[in-house]
Amino acid sequence: MSVEDPMYYWDYLGLDEVLDSQRLASASDRRAPAHDEMLFIITHQAFELWFKQILWELDAAIDLLGRDPIPDEDIAAVLRHLERIVAIQPLLVEQFSVLSTMTPLDFLDFRDELIPASGFQSVQFRLIENRLGLAPKKRLKIGGAAYTSRLSREHAERLEASESEPTLIGLLDAWLARTPFLRFGRFDFWEAYRDAVQAMIERDRHLIATNPSLDAAVRQQQLDAFETSNEAFTVLFDRDAWEELRAQGKRRLSHEAFLAALLISLYRDQPAFHQPFRVLTALIDLDEGFTAFRNAHAQLVHRTIGGRIGTGGTSGHEYLQAAARKHQVFSDLFDLATFHLPRKELPGLPDDVRTQLTFRYSSPDD
């Protein structure tokens, strides 16, 4: 751009194209366009613009996490990308509040013109899910067909190709599995942790067994429930059992990666774990944000079309609510809390281990 032809705000943002892209399907020579279709289009275009930004941030985070080794400053950048996505998500949810100002009758003024188009055909949102690592076998089907069945061939092929590309959860798994702070010389954290867990279990079992306020039936019921909950710890300490659950699709992270995530979560106060813990927290927030988005979408659809079938042929709000439950990616990180111990009961770290976890770490050879 020359001095004679300086950058102009309108041109920089391409507003001629942007503001001319609201083409109302209800407009015709026979009748005036449905007033609320403009709101419907602009809201969904705004969704797609934010999806583009989310993909931009996800691709940057995936690129950084794909490096080995990953410099600390790159993890800081990954965190910034994730936290930006988390900051965007409430805006997506809030847009449904604006869209809800359109009443069901307002929507019926142009709904038939949209069939069979549907938000389910949002290629960018499906790409986001694939970038995160939503497993194809976990996806809900539409009338028994794959999620790509309602898309153009070009878009279906693009999404199918993305299924074999690096994912955020896959790269997270590899990064966590490389965590070096699991055994420190003669100190084996997991042996110490197992002993602390066993002490907690025995104490809690004793409290139930000796609680004078429980009758025999209630006591046995609580003991049975207690033993069931303790099975989670049994699996945690059994790599083969954990990996079997992973093969069944009931776990996403490898055993090594989950143990590393648990270590980071338990000892988040150690300086070396501050930033990794924030990454794990951002991923939980991100997953929660998309669940909130799907639930808000489901509520809006229910409010707007009731029990009708969606324009894309899905079961409307019921499909969206089911997707909110099933399409979570980082559920293993939510489950970390299952294995937390009170700080006072955590295995104490030897002084040399604490030194290694400070920001003043130096090699043993120094």
Taking only the tens place, the pLDDT of each residue in 24-64 is 999 876 678 999 999 999 999 999 999 999 999 999 999 99
- Select from 115, 10, 5, 98 the least CA-distant residue to 47: 98
Residue 14 counted as domain residue: yes
- Select from 113, 94, 255, 248 the least CA-distant residue to 173: 255
**297: pLDDT strictly greater than 70:** yes
Mean pLDDT score across all residues of the chain: 89
- Select from 364, 360, 345, 346 the least CA-distant residue to 184: 364
Residue 1 counted as domain residue: no
- pLDDT for position 10: 97
pTM: 0.90
- pLDDT for position 243: 96
- Select from 143, 156, 121 the least CA-distant residue to 51: 121
Beta bridge partners of 188: 183
CB-CB contact of 51 with 122 (8 Å) = yes
C-alpha to C-alpha distances, 129 to 3, 159, 172, 317, nearest whole angstrom: 44, 10, 15, 19
Range of the domain at 32: 9-356
32: left (phi over 0), alpha (psi -120 to 50) or beta: beta
CA distance 271 to 122: 42
Residue 221 counted as domain residue: yes
Residue 365 counted as domain residue: no
Q: List Cβ neighbours of 178 (8 Å cut-off, separation of 6 or more).
A: 68, 69
Label the pairing between strands 183-184 and 187-188.
antiparallel
Q: Per residue in 131-178, pLDDT tens?
A: 999 998 888 887 778 889 889 999 999 999 999 999 999 999 999 998
Per mean pLDDT, which range of 23-27, 108-112, 113-117, 276-280 is the poorest?
113-117
CATH of the domain at 233: 1.20.58.480
C-alpha to C-alpha distances, 215 to 82, 96, 208, 212, 224, nearest whole angstrom: 51, 51, 11, 8, 14
- pLDDT for position 176: 94
- Select from 332, 346, 359 the least CA-distant residue to 275: 359
| DSSP 8-state code for residue 32 | P
Residue 363 counted as domain residue: no
Residue 361 counted as domain residue: no
What average pLDDT does this structure show over 251-265?
95
CB-CB contact of 122 with 48 (8 Å) = yes
Q: Per residue in 201-250, pLDDT tens?
A: 888 888 888 888 888 888 888 888 878 778 889 999 999 999 999 999 99
Query: Any idea which residue has 């366009």 for tokens?
Result: 33
Task: State the sign of the Cα–Cα–Cα–Cα dihedral 81, 288, 329, 154.
Answer: negative
Q: List Cβ neighbours of 350 (8 Å cut-off, separation of 6 or more).
A: 184, 187
Residue 2 counted as domain residue: no
Tally of domains in the chain: 1
Residue 279 counted as domain residue: yes
**288: pLDDT strictly greater than 60:** yes
